[in-house]
Amino acid sequence: MQIPFEPELFNTTINIHLILEYLAFFLAFRYYIILRRKETDHINSNNRLSIILGATLGALIGSRLVGVLENPFVEFTEQNLIQLLNTKTIMGGLFGGLLGVELAKKIIGEKQFSGDLFVFPIILGIFIGRIGCFLSGVKEFTYGKQTSFFTGMDLGDGLQRHPTSLYELVFLVILFFSLKYILNNYSLKNGELFKLFMLFYFGFRFFIEFLKPNVFYVLGLSTIQILCLICLLYYYKFIFQKLKYAR
């Protein structure tokens, strides 16, 4: 199979990444519905709907904003503006969704933690989306730097690059089953599963960014890495609490 993978149907080139992105949203939401039916949800349906709306709006804004900040000095031509509006990142979506949820909960007066039910559907959605990123090769800015390491692959430009999307797929499988194990074998307070997911995923993304050819840095760190540090600061109380408990 050649990468970028661009199948044709009725003489029309199929955007496989876009299809898998829509599939990721659909399957992740269906998975969430199944989990909510199986488990006791301490939040009533109206408030849960408000929380989902807050998460959606926050993710939409956050994904675009962080996507633009990855290259803030781009020239604002008509062509570049369209490209910027289409630029998005799951990292901004996750953190923006988190802030959107917190704002929605504050507005409706909901005190219960609400993230645990979203954890495994989010992982499933990211996994499917990353398959699309990998199949898009260098046409989707998730590829890695040039490398002589044995995992290097030609992603469409004739160079051997780190297939960072594949690295992330492996990590997501490990993360999924690790969190399942923790959930089934340890006593977690409500909301802690989501916090663990955010810390593990953002921690992974902080380090994997060193393998990507980013174009904008602050103090030697990319926009995504700075966002990862902000996420760690956001959860600093939880981190210190768990470190103190472990010690």
| Length of the chain counted residue by residue | 247
pLDDT-above-90 percentage for the chain: 36
Q: What is the mean pLDDT of the chain?
A: 85
What's the mean pLDDT in 129-147? 88
pTM: 0.88
pLDDT at 77: 59
Please indicate, yes or no, if residue 59 is contained in any of the structural domains: no
Q: How confident is the model at residue 41 (pLDDT cuts 50, 70, 90)?
A: low
Q: How confident is the model at residue 138 (pLDDT cuts 50, 70, 90)?
A: confident
pLDDT at 113: 72
With 60 as the cut, is the pLDDT of residue 55 above it?
yes
Q: How far apart are CA 69 and CA 18, in angstroms?
A: 22
Please indicate, yes or no, if residue 80 is contained in any of the structural domains: no
Instruction: Give me the number of domains the chain comprises.
Output: 1
Q: How does strand 153-154 pair with strand 12-13? A: unpaired
Q: Tens digit of pLDDT for each residue in 157-178?
A: 888 999 999 999 999 999 999 9
Which three-class secondary structure string do you get for the chain? CCCCCCCEECCEECCHHHHHHHHHHHHHHHHHHHHHHHCCCCCCHHHHHHHHHHHHHHHHHHHHHHHHHCCCCCCCCHHHHHHHHHCCCHHHHHHHHHHHHHHHHHHHCCCCCCCHHHHHHHHHHHHHHHHHHHHHHHHCCCCCCECCCCCCEECCCCCEECCHHHHHHHHHHHHHHHHHHHHHHCCCCCCHHHHHHHHHHHHHHHHHHHHCCCCCEECCEEHHHHHHHHHHHHCHHHHHHHHHHHC
Record the tokens describing residue 20, joined without a space.
């898998």
pLDDT at 169: 96
Please indicate, yes or no, if residue 220 is contained in any of the structural domains: yes
Q: Tens digit of pLDDT for each residue in 65-92?
A: 887 777 665 555 555 555 555 567 888 8
pLDDT at 85: 56
Please indicate, yes or no, if residue 163 is contained in any of the structural domains: yes
With 80 as the cut, is the pLDDT of residue 126 above it?
yes
More confident residue, 128 or 142: 128
**Beta-carbon count within 10 A of 21 CB:** 17
Please indicate, yes or no, if residue 47 is contained in any of the structural domains: no
- Domain encompassing residue 149: 8-42+112-246
Q: Are 58 and 94 in contact (CB under 8 A)?
A: no
Q: Are 216 and 87 in contact (CB under 8 A)?
A: no
Q: How far apart are CA 195 and CA 239, in angstroms?
A: 9
pLDDT at 78: 58
Please indicate, yes or no, if residue 241 is contained in any of the structural domains: yes
Q: What are phi and psi of 153, to 5 degrees?
A: -140, 155
Q: Tens digit of pLDDT for each residue in 188-242?
A: 888 899 999 999 999 999 999 999 988 777 788 888 999 999 999 999 999 988 8
What's the mean pLDDT in 21-37? 90
Please indicate, yes or no, if residue 82 is contained in any of the structural domains: no
Please indicate, yes or no, if residue 156 is contained in any of the structural domains: yes
